Amino acid sequence: MVWVYSILPVLVSLVALCMGAVTTSLLALYHTYLMLTGQTTWEQASRISVLYLKNINGNPFNQGCVRNVAAFVCAWSNWEELYERTNNDRNSIIL
């Protein structure tokens, strides 16, 4: 019976490791699905409250699995340029 106490930390660690592995795997599968369908977590989780998706059936950003993966993996953005362009567009609006 003494061997149970000596192996208990290993068993607890193994259970914690398995729980972490299952959680991480499920999260990776979920985000792989989002990547394949061209969605963000916010668009998928709260589709009803996303203003630009409210009156649209389907996903307007879905370009097919291969193009979605290519856009996700190979896309590069310069965030400073994007921020400048957004600010310039806001300043050029005439009310």
Domain coverage including residue 43: 2-91
Tell if the pTM clears 0.85, that is, is over it: no
**In the predicted model, is pLDDT for residue 39 greater than 80?**
yes
* Number of domains making up the chain: 1
The whole-angstrom separation of Cα 82 and Cα 93 is 17
Contacts (Cβ under 8 Å, ≥6 apart) of 48: 54
For residue 6, the model assigns a pLDDT of 86
pLDDT > 90: percent of the chain: 31
